Amino acid sequence: MEKTEQIYINPATLTQVLSKKLGTDVINANYQTKQLHGGTLGDVRLVTGTAETADHRSIPYEVVWKTQKKWERPGDPDSWRREYDFYRSDFSAAFTDSLRSPKCYATKLHGDDEIEIWMEHIDGVSGSNLTIEALEQAAEEWGRFQGRLRCRLDLDLDLGLHQHPGKLEFGDVSWLGNTGFMEREFRQWTSDTEEYRYLYSSTCSLPEHLRRMLITTQQESQTIFSNIKRLPVVLSHRDFWIENIFYSQDGKIHLIDWDCVGWGFAGEDIASLIADDTDVAYLDEYYRRLVPAYRRGLSGGLSGGGGLSECMDVAPNESFLIPEMIIIKFGYRFLQKFMFSQSPSAKNRQITALQKIHEIHARI
């Protein structure tokens, strides 16, 4: 829920940020703040007001101010500061006019337990208001970005990319997450959790074929992950869902929230886009339309080349194991919601989601 409140902002920091944003010397500024979203994973505020410049102009402004306290994601202890490292890097040079992250105006590291980021406010459509056409564009642009970057950096799997290359053309990238992200999360779900015990219990009330789908995925996970590891390694956002995608008025795609970014596998992000907080009625359509869009972008497609096809072949019907990735990434989440939902309709939504995933997987 959005709310307006007044909190203290260091005047020197604010004038520094606004001077960079406005491209002129700002000597003073008033402000008010509105919390956009927040919680244990960060506090994000829209800061608005009027800036006074050295040449006596008054200019209205809006910027986003994000603070993040240190916390430890299981298996990825540095994720709390990764967005800070991302914005301090030169990765913005890899983006294009059609797909980019917000512009960053200032970053600060407070001791060893808090970061502060000042960035552009993106005015656009996001979340459930995104059309399927906008999501297709996001999938294609992201695939194109991954393919171009893959070829541009000449990433060689035989060199053990997942161990972090020390220096690339974008400077030190050792802060990027490694390719083990998806497997670590899955192992956490299947390591004697309440959901895992319920799935194998006699009281599990999931339809048997859906229960068997989750159990079989767990039992065959070693083989599944071996196959996933044969996919192209690409730079993955790893929180690629509708709330982090903005479609601006000029028809461009903007991505926010970069705390999980790292080396991953082709298709990993599209699995998230298809299934993460998606209306279950659209799961099948999302799969049918977003996978081909992603494949077009990754292989160069309609943009006239520059994609992954220049350094690696991508089959016209390549699925990138996305159905398996959806089960791995979201199967236990749907199970958890099924277990703890209070109403029959909420439980049925999770069964419907798992059924849609089962049907998608069965067709491949």
Q: pLDDT (tens digit, 9 = 90+) per residue, 282-297?
A: 999 999 999 999 999 9
CA distance 281 to 270: 18
CA distance 42 to 8: 17
Over residues 336-340, mean pLDDT:
98
> What pLDDT, in 10s, does the model give residues 56-86?
999 999 999 999 999 888 888 899 999 999 9
Question: How large is the average pLDDT for residues 266-271?
Answer: 98
Each residue of 337-362: b (16+ CB within 10 Å) or e?
Answer: bbbeeeeeeebebbbebbbbbbebbe
| Residue 286, CA distances (Å) to 113, 182, 245, 345 in order | 39, 21, 15, 22
How distant is the alpha carbon of residue 318 from its chain centre? Answer: 22
- Mean of the per-residue pLDDT values for the chain? 90
The DSSP bridge partners found for residue 264 are: 234
| CATH number listed for the domain at residues 3-120 | 3.30.200
Q: Is the pLDDT of residue 305 over 70?
A: no
Cα–Cα dist 169/350, whole Å:
44
164 burial via Cβ count (<10 Å: 0-12, 13-18, 19+): middle
From 91-105, 143-157, 204-218, 251-265, the region with the lowest mean pLDDT: 143-157
User: What is the DSSP code string of 249-309?
Assistant: TTS-EEE---TT-EEEETTHHHHHHHHTT--GGGHHHHHHHHHHHHHHHHT-GGGTS-SGG
CA-closest candidate to residue 269, choices 295, 248, 249: 295
Closest CA to 356 of 329, 323, 325, 318: 323
Two structure tokens written together for 73: 């994601």
* DSSP letter, residue 121: P
d(CA 71, CA 348): 35
Q: Distance between CA 164 and CA 24 in Å, rounded?
A: 39
- Angle ∠(232,236,239) on CA atoms, nearest 5: 140
Residue 74, pLDDT score: 85
User: For domain 125-363, is the CATH number 3.90.1200.10?
Assistant: yes
Q: How confident is the model at residue 121 (pLDDT cuts 50, 70, 90)?
A: very high
Instruction: Give the separation between CA 214 and CA 353, rounded to whole angstroms.
Output: 13
For the segment 131-186, what is each residue's pLDDT rounded down to a tens digit? 999 999 999 999 999 998 887 765 444 444 444 444 456 667 889 999 999 999 99
Read off the pLDDT of each residue in 311-319 and give the average, rounded to a whole number.
Answer: 73
pLDDT band at 191 (very low <50, low <70, confident <90, very high): very high
DSSP secondary structure letters along 309-320: GGTS---TT--T
* % pLDDT > 90, the chain: 77
pLDDT the model gives residue 301: 45
Answer yes or no: is pLDDT of 37 > 80. no
pLDDT grade, residue 338 (50/70/90)? Answer: very high
- Delimit the domains of the chain by residue range: 3-120, 125-363
Best CA proximity match to 64, nearest among 12, 123, 10, 5: 123
Least confident residue range of 9-13, 48-52, 90-94, 99-103:
90-94
Q: What is the spatial distance between Cα 216 and Cα 30, in angstroms, rounded to a whole number? A: 59
